[in-house]
Structure 1
Amino acid sequence: MDTIIGMRTFAAVATHGSFTEGAKQVGISTKLASKYVGQLEERLNAQLFHRTTRRVAMTETGAAYFKRCQPLLEQFDELEGLVQDRQTELAGRIRITAPTGFGSGQLVHMLKPFQVAHPKVSIELRLSDHHVSIVEEGFDLAIRFGVLKDSSLIARKLMDMRIVLCAAPSYLAAHGEPKDPAALTTHNCLLQSTLTTTDSWEFKGKSGPYTVPVTGNFRANSPLAVANMAADGLGIGRVPLYTARPFLDDQRLKLIFEDQEARVIGLFAVYPPSRHLTARIRALIDHLASQF
């Protein structure tokens, strides 16, 4: 067993407190992760974990080893990055987390030309609409919308995305198209619970920005779910433009109050400050910035 692989496996299991989740991070089977950790313990002649049927916990020796082994692994990654900087061909794995709707659509299309240009780079994309700790989960990069809550992370802005109001032509024909944003109080508004302002929508007026309180009988934590429900004629939705775009293109949705939109959200590439940006990660961030 390669000692570095053993250390990476141990660190992943220690971070997650689970052989199954640690194995997923490293990209191997649970059985192989257990084997690697066992071989590392045998080589060190020390027990690193207390194992039970329900949980895995580090021993005192394991905790001390984990504290020392994390910076060593980061230094090893940095060393690899320095070597790669001098190579013409990028190689290695990049683990990315991104929102489900954006990641499965627009982001994937952006990643394709990068992987065609760099076939030896493997990308592992984990999609989630919940906040993922990129340090604890072992990700190299996160693609995130909106205000960044963790100030300890480093972010590069990729673009601004419009937040748009839209409704199906069938809904507007049945209920009438609102003449101004204030009229939204009489309409069924479809709410996205992941936005910071769920029950009031911002608009741009002649005297400055203002908000309109909204209510409705449907809310979801996914903008795609809101867009689909709006396209089915249930009500008026407010979603990022990338989510609405396919429905606008086939005319299942129509934009309203386009000239009064007051909200944009930033799209960022985010990474830990302690993580050395290898040549492949820097190249990917530059690629995404140029694409957007």
Structure 2
Amino acid sequence: MDTIEAMRAFMAVAHEGSFTAAGKRLGFSTKLVSKYVVQLEGKLSTQLFNRTTRSVSLTDVGLAYLERCRPIVEQIDELEDLVQEKQSSLAGLIRIAAPTGFGSNNLTQALAPFLQAHPSVDIDLRLSDSRVALVEEGFDLAVRVGVLRDSTLIARKLADMPLIVCASPDYLTVWGRPGDPMALATHNCLIDENPADATAWRFRTGARDFVVKVTGPFHANAPAAIANMAIAGLGIGRCPLYAVARSLGNGSLEQLFPDYDTEKFGLYALYPPNRHLTARVRALIDHLAKYFSSK
């Protein structure tokens, strides 16, 4: 039995909660993943997972083993990466977490030239509008848009992402165009719940900073949802530029208050502080910074 491969299989099942999903992640058959885990349990003379027909969960011993085998496997990966860094080409898997709207469009456009330049690199991109635990779920990198909350993760800013206040022509025809940001208090506003204080919209003009408290009938945790409701004429939205750029271009949304500066979101790459950054991950972060800073 290859103990390291068995440990990798065990870690994948623990992260995915499924032998089938672990096999897809590793490129193994479900049968081979199960075989590795059974052999590992036999070698250790203990049960690492509780198995039912519907679920797989770690036993107490399995949880303790996971905590101890993860750094061992990571150290072996680091040794392999040190060898790879001496080679002329990058190779290996990069697991990335990203928000759904940005990840499915803007991020994939940025990843395409990187993959073309490095054909031996594989990318596993997982999209979710919920924040993920990078270390626990086995991700190398997260790409996030917004104001960073307190975190133990290391963040590299890739670019600024301005927030655009906008509405559809139909909404403005029915409800009128607000003359300045303070008038937002009398309008239906669409609330993106990602910022810490989602109903406090900040503006700046000259040396004056001020906040407008807004209310409205629709709340969501994804900028794309806010943009779609604004296009439908349901209210005034505040979205990062990437979510509304196409709609502003085709006229389905109009920008409000272009003479006022709004709060800016940042586009960030985040990674765990205690994890060795492989050559391929460093190269990808550098590529993303160059790509998005030029937009």
Normalized against structure 1, the TM-score is what?
0.92
Encode CA deviations 1:248-289: one digit per residue, 9 max, x unaligned.
Answer: 111111111122123001111111122211111111011001
Q: Is the 8 A contact 2:166 2:256 kept in 1?
A: yes
* Structure 1 range deviating more: 45-54 or 81-90: 45-54
Determine the structure 2 residue equivalent to 1:56: 57
Q: CA RMSD in A?
A: 2.0
Q: Distance in 1 between matches of 2:101 and 2:195?
A: 14
Determine the structure 1 residue equivalent to 2:281: 281
Q: Distance in 2 between matches of 1:257 and 1:277?
A: 42
Shift of 1:24: 5.4
Shift of 1:196: 2.0
Shift of 1:159: 0.8
* Structure 1 range deviating more: 239-248 or 206-215: 206-215
Q: How does 1:16-95 map to 2 (within 5 A)?
A: 18-19=18-19, 22-23=22-23, 25-42=25-42, 44-53=43-52, 54-58=55-59, 60=61, 62-63=62-63, 65-95=65-95
Q: Is the 8 A contact 2:147 2:195 kept in 1?
A: no
Determine the structure 1 residue equivalent to 2:245: 245
Which residue identity is paired with 1:275? R
* Structure 1 range deviating more: 2-11 or 110-119: 2-11
Determine the structure 2 residue equivalent to 1:115: 115
Shift of 1:207: 4.9
Q: How does 1:219-234 map to 2 (within 5 A)?
A: 219-234=219-234
* Structure 1 range deviating more: 183-192 or 92-101: 183-192
Shift of 1:18: 5.0
Give unmatched runs, 5+ long, in structure 1: none
Determine the structure 2 residue equivalent to 1:174: 174
Determine the structure 2 residue equivalent to 1:130: 130
Encode CA deviations 1:115-139: one digit per residue, 9 max, x unaligned.
Answer: 0001111101000000100111000
Q: Distance in 2 between matches of 1:55 and 1:92?
A: 28
Q: Distance in 2 between matches of 1:187 and 1:132?
A: 34
Encode CA deviations 1:77-136: one digit per residue, 9 max, x unaligned.
Answer: 111111111111111110000010000011000000000001111101000000100111
Shift of 1:195: 2.2
Q: Is the 8 A contact 2:17 2:56 kept in 1?
A: yes
- For the structure 1 residues 143 and 227, does the alpha-carbon distance in structure 2 shift closer, same or farther, using more than 3 Å as the test? same
- For the structure 1 residues 291 and 70, does the alpha-carbon distance in structure 2 shift closer, same or farther, using more than 3 Å as the test? same
Which residue identity is paired with 2:90? L
Aligned length: 290
Q: Is the 8 A contact 1:223 1:240 kept in 2?
A: yes
Determine the structure 2 residue equivalent to 1:2: 2
Q: Distance in 2 between matches of 1:141 and 1:70?
A: 17
Q: Is the 8 A contact 2:205 2:261 kept in 1?
A: no
Q: Secondary structure at the residue paired with 2:238?
A: strand
Q: Is the 8 A contact 1:48 1:59 kept in 2?
A: no
Q: Secondary structure at the residue paired with 1:148?
A: coil
Matched, 1:197 2:197: yes
Q: Secondary structure at the residue paired with 1:170?
A: helix
Q: Secondary structure at the residue paired with 1:35?
A: helix
Q: Distance in 1 between matches of 2:14 and 2:106?
A: 34
Q: How does 1:258-277 map to 2 (within 5 A)?
A: 258-277=258-277
* Structure 1 range deviating more: 182-191 or 123-132: 182-191
Shift of 1:15: 4.7
Give unmatched runs, 5+ long, in structure 2: none
Which residue identity is paired with 2:141? L
- For the structure 1 residues 26 and 183, does the alpha-carbon distance in structure 2 shift closer, same or farther, using more than 3 Å as the test? same
Shift of 1:17: 5.5
